[in-house]
Structure 1
Amino acid sequence: MAEEDGRLRKEVDRVLAGLERGDRKLSALARRVAERCVRENLKTASKLGIYYDILVWESDLVREGIVDEALEMLRPHLYTGTGEKEGATLLRLSPLGLEDKILVRSDGTTVYTARDIAYQLWKFGKTKRDLRFKLHSARPDGKKTYTSSPDGKIRISRRNVEKVINVVGAEQRYPQQVVSSALKLLGYEREYRNSYHLAYEHVRLPEARFSGRKGTWVGFSVDEVLEEAYERAYRVVKEHAPSEDERFWRRTAKLVAIGAVRYTLLATSSEKGIVFKWEEALNLRKNSGPAIQYSHARACSILRKARGVRKSVRRADLLNSKEEERLIKLLAKFPTVTKTVGETLQVHLLASYASELAQAFNVFYEACPVLGAKPNELREARLALVDCARIVLRNSLNLMGIPAPERM
């Protein structure tokens, strides 16, 4: 809207200038509006089991002088623009093979990238000035979220920060390159190498595109998508467990809905766009969060019926069918997969692995009797294998932030 309305654009510029000058009345109003938006965003995130440890406000980076300190540190690499960039302050990046970047507009206001550089330096503990924090909220699990604040009394230590991962949209590739390159210009080579931009593309429904600024799938807010996921999951759960009661259906539907949405967002490489399809997201048979949850619940059910696994000598040599061997080999890959994901930040590899493991477990279950296996040594060996699958499925789900229900 601001881009299309010149008068509105001028008003936005006036407000930004006032905020940078520290206009108290304007800053207080902007903070109240922003905090209200953040509260609503946090409510939505909490529905997916997403929580923050700290919240950092750009206005506090400016107020505490951290942005000014960052610009002062970069002074040897700054110059004043000419022509169309007359009066603006630019960061010289041509020695690093990048286009020079405006950090301060001609009216004296800083651009987002300037504040991002200051924030990155703060994260790595490279600024003398610091932020103060206070309690923002307590989560259901008892953990706390803190927020930067002018009247805060708490300091957050960044002494041992080794790696900074910025989860930002793919359209911000160049600004993020500027942020990390600024560290290199300042001689922070290790911090430059350990600055990662985890770029992601956006999500859309087949019939609509996603709008990042509006937080909507044009016509669908994120909350509405979650509500739709819950309603669809409720119908699926009720159909598959008709003998359970209403409380079970609702509780399980909530867990399945979270699994459906989170898995869909994680299963695709972050640099590829995601088309969210309900029929795939809620498929209990394969390639979905609910399918992995269902396999985990199935393993739990088998163990309940067997009343656990006996701690006796287990004849692993009896597990020699192709289905058993494939499942064992997949289970053995879990440490390598998690290590690779941690090193490459390719979270979709974990999602793919968990889906493959769930399918392998289902094939094993269909081909190899467990509770009725004979002799007893084979039964115990297969129960042990079921327990191993349960543990790895649960751990995989936990790493993806997806609930691991024991009954579905």
Structure 2
Amino acid sequence: MKYPFELFKEEVENFIRASLKELGCEGEVKIETPPAGKGDLSFACFPFSKLLKKPPEKIADEIASGFKESEWIGKVVSENGYVNFFVNEKRLAQATIDIVRKLDESYGSLEKKHKKVIIEHTSANPTGPLHVGRARNPILGDTLVRIYRFAGYDVEVQFYVDDMGKQVAALAWGIKNIDPATLTPPSRDKPDHYFVRFYQKAYQLMQEKEEIDREISKIVKECERGNEEILKMIEKAYMKVLDGIKQSLERLDIRFDRFVVESSFVRDGSVAKVVEALIKSGYARKENGAWYIDMKSFGVGDKKFYFTRSDGTTLYATRDIAYHLWKAERADMLINVLGEDHKLEAKQVEIALKILGAKTLPKVVFYSFVTLPGGKMSTRKGRAVYLDDLIDEAMERAYEEVKKRRADLSDEKLKKIAEAVATGCVRYNIIRIQPEKDIVFKWEDALNFEGNSAPFIQYAHARACSILRKEKIEREEEIDATLLEHEQEIKLIKLLARFPEVVNDACESNRPNLVANYLFDVASQFNQFYRDCPVLRAGDENLKRARLALVDCTRITLRNGLQLLGIKALEEM
């Protein structure tokens, strides 16, 4: 099945190819979206000027003059070396209204790809609650999961549990050796908040006393040797923290299909095989008993990638290579969501995977950290603002905002709406920015009912629902969408028609912010339509039915888009 705007674009591409062939050349046809008022699709002739020995303006004129009436193209205009294409608006209106109402919950989804994707995200050290600085990882990762599934992929979501590092060893040592009575009370009744105190105290003692540092280092080495007693001690410590992390993420509707434990690749011999293969690869060198790969020959500066220590134990990245080889055998595509501080390590892992002939290499989505106006955060040093705190504050603020607007609602209903607005504002305010750009989380932006925010989009959806409660429109009812001729109606229809393209672009580029920004545009345009085009008082009955159908199509598109962002589409606000 092809969507209406896709058929229009396909017709434009075919026309361009045929026109270029007539002019005596062939080449890649790149279609662009022109500025407002310049058409719906555009083709730049500049790359063909040298080949055809003509100015681009002349080429554009010749292509445009060859246009004859077609199914989806309304008109073609040559302007300053561009060929601008205008869609047949009546055809687009009818086709879009029909297909959105027919497909409903699946509108915007793409054909099945018959490919499996493993998306690994969050994978935070299970030593304490998630802090705001790392909150972008699970939100970005979960949104990618939703988009990939909607785009037709079979997706498995994984959390890679680091149960062999010094952090979890410090946690386990702290629980075993520190008297809870000597610690400050936990900030809340939740396992991750309770146990992080042991980790923070152990980390402090590790910095102050060499003997404690040695004890914790010994735990790490015993894990590497596969000491089952020590591994079980560590598992018992971190599992409670992991339960707390899962509870926090479930508040944002984020879940995992599988938790993969790092030590499993030591236990089954995979890590030993990686070390052996890298040593035999011809790229490995030895220095003071430690094996490394010189990154210089791979264009990564003067860095050395050590995959063993001098005592023969391996590093986190070495075990990560084993994990990726395991994943590569189980999926067609691998997506990793990582903080920008992991760029070097990710490159080292990628190079090692290439050396070892991995079946599939991971695509990495890097993100910059979230900060509050006060600056960055650290779990180790106890200077963190936790994700739980952010969600709680969002709930309190959202409740007050909703109460100001809807004092007529019961307290129970106010709280229900506030919860959806709160989780929505946290997710949206993080996802609307490109992953690689920094975010300073500001409440005035996140809860702005008039700006680029979740509440603004949720309110547009609620408004559409309110209109449709006053006068229903049946799904099987035939609609004459060609009556929708007002400028604001046409603009809204064109936006709705582009939703499948936005889903595809967001998936291919791993940029979920495209969906967020698109929904803001739809909500904004819906408000313009609502202002200028009376729906229930349209006058003409057929026009009223057509406008009600357009409202319904907007509701469907906003709902489907919000679900991709993990945000509830409220029917009342």
The two structures share one fold, judged by TM-score above 0.5: yes
Report the alpha carbon displacement of residue 381 of structure 1 after superposing the two structures with TM.
0.7
Aligned positions of 1:65-214 closer than 5 A: 65-77=269-281, 79-82=284-287, 86-98=288-300, 99-125=303-329, 158=330, 161-188=331-358, 191-192=360-361, 195-211=362-378, 213=379
Q: Secondary structure at the match of 2:232?
A: helix
Task: Spell out, residue by residue over 1:111-155, the C-alpha distance to the aligned partner (whole angstroms, 9 max, x if none).
Answer: 111111111101011xxxxxxxxxxxxxxxxxxxxxxxxxxxxxx
Residues 310/185 of structure 1: CA separation in 2 closer, same or farther (3 Å cut): closer
Identify unmatched segments of 5+ residues in structure 1: 126-157
Q: Is 1:239 the counterpart of 2:404 in the alignment? A: yes
* Distance in 1 (alpha carbons) for counterparts of 2:377 and 2:460: 32
Report the alpha carbon displacement of residue 313 of structure 1 after superposing the two structures with TM.
3.4
* Distance in 1 (alpha carbons) for counterparts of 2:313 and 2:242: 24
Residues 183/352 of structure 1: CA separation in 2 closer, same or farther (3 Å cut): same
Residues 363/9 of structure 1: CA separation in 2 closer, same or farther (3 Å cut): farther
TM-score normalized by the length of structure 1: 0.85
Residues 114/219 of structure 1: CA separation in 2 closer, same or farther (3 Å cut): closer
Moved more, 304-313 or 52-61: 304-313
1:301 aligns with one of 460, 466, 471? 466
Task: Spell out, residue by residue over 1:15-62, the C-alpha distance to the aligned partner (whole angstroms, 9 max, x if none).
Answer: 211110122332221111111121111111111000000001112221
1:56 aligns with one of 237, 256, 260? 260
The sequence identity of aligned pairs, in percent, is 39
Task: Spell out, residue by residue over 1:251-301, the C-alpha distance to the aligned partner (whole angstroms, 9 max, x if none).
Answer: 111111110000011111111111111111011122111211111111111
Work out whether residues 310 and 380 of structure 1, in 8 Å CA contact, stay in contact via their aligned partners in 2: no
Q: Is 1:260 the counterpart of 2:260 in the alignment? A: no
Report the alpha carbon displacement of residue 91 of structure 1 after superposing the two structures with TM.
2.7
Residues 168/316 of structure 1: CA separation in 2 closer, same or farther (3 Å cut): same
* Distance in 2 (alpha carbons) for counterparts of 1:37 and 1:312: 54
* Distance in 2 (alpha carbons) for counterparts of 1:227 and 1:12: 35
Work out whether residues 394 and 426 of structure 2, in 8 Å CA contact, stay in contact via their aligned partners in 1: yes
Work out whether residues 278 and 284 of structure 2, in 8 Å CA contact, stay in contact via their aligned partners in 1: no
* Distance in 1 (alpha carbons) for counterparts of 2:380 and 2:421: 26
Work out whether residues 337 and 349 of structure 1, in 8 Å CA contact, stay in contact via their aligned partners in 2: yes
Work out whether residues 296 and 394 of structure 1, in 8 Å CA contact, stay in contact via their aligned partners in 2: yes
Residue 67 of structure 1 aligns to which amino acid in structure 2? V
Specify the alignment match of 1:137 in structure 2: none
Work out whether residues 309 and 383 of structure 1, in 8 Å CA contact, stay in contact via their aligned partners in 2: no
Moved more, 17-26 or 335-344: 17-26
Q: Larger RCO: Structure 1 or Structure 2 (Cα < 8 Å, ≥ 6 residues apart)?
A: 2
Q: Secondary structure at the match of 2:263?
A: helix
* Distance in 1 (alpha carbons) for counterparts of 2:491 and 2:531: 14
Specify the alignment match of 1:32 in structure 2: 236
* Distance in 2 (alpha carbons) for counterparts of 1:332 and 1:302: 22
Q: Secondary structure at the match of 1:374?
A: coil
Residues 406/354 of structure 1: CA separation in 2 closer, same or farther (3 Å cut): same
Specify the alignment match of 1:142 in structure 2: none
Residue 28 of structure 1 aligns to which amino acid in structure 2? K
Report the alpha carbon displacement of residue 167 of structure 1 after superposing the two structures with TM.
0.9
Report the alpha carbon displacement of residue 309 of structure 1 after superposing the two structures with TM.
4.2
Residue 119 of structure 1 aligns to which amino acid in structure 2? Y
Specify the alignment match of 2:416 in structure 1: 251
Task: Spell out, residue by residue over 1:222-249, the C-alpha distance to the aligned partner (whole angstroms, 9 max, x if none).
Answer: 1111000001111111122211111110
Residue 187 of structure 1 aligns to which amino acid in structure 2? G
Specify the alignment match of 1:399 in structure 2: 564
* Distance in 2 (alpha carbons) for counterparts of 1:385 and 1:274: 35
Specify the alignment match of 1:316 in structure 2: 481
Report which of the two structures shows the higher radius of gyration computed on alpha carbons. 2
Moved more, 224-233 or 281-290: 281-290
Q: Is 1:47 the counterpart of 2:251 in the alignment? A: yes
Specify the alignment match of 2:19 in structure 1: none
* Distance in 1 (alpha carbons) for counterparts of 2:246 and 2:422: 18
Q: Secondary structure at the match of 1:191?
A: coil
Matched pairs, number: 366
Specify the alignment match of 2:219 in structure 1: 15
Runs of 4+ residues over 6 Å off in structure 1: none
Work out whether residues 202 and 274 of structure 1, in 8 Å CA contact, stay in contact via their aligned partners in 2: yes
Residue 450 of structure 2 aligns to which amino acid in structure 1? R
Report the alpha carbon displacement of residue 5 of structure 1 after superposing the two structures with TM.
4.0
Report the alpha carbon displacement of residue 185 of structure 1 after superposing the two structures with TM.
1.2
* Distance in 1 (alpha carbons) for counterparts of 2:567 and 2:268: 38
Residue 169 of structure 1 aligns to which amino acid in structure 2? G
CA RMSD, aligned part only? 1.9
Report the alpha carbon displacement of residue 72 of structure 1 after superposing the two structures with TM.
2.6
Specify the alignment match of 1:144 in structure 2: none
Work out whether residues 259 and 402 of structure 1, in 8 Å CA contact, stay in contact via their aligned partners in 2: yes
Q: Secondary structure at the match of 1:81?
A: strand
Residues 335/215 of structure 1: CA separation in 2 closer, same or farther (3 Å cut): farther
Moved more, 10-19 or 389-398: 10-19
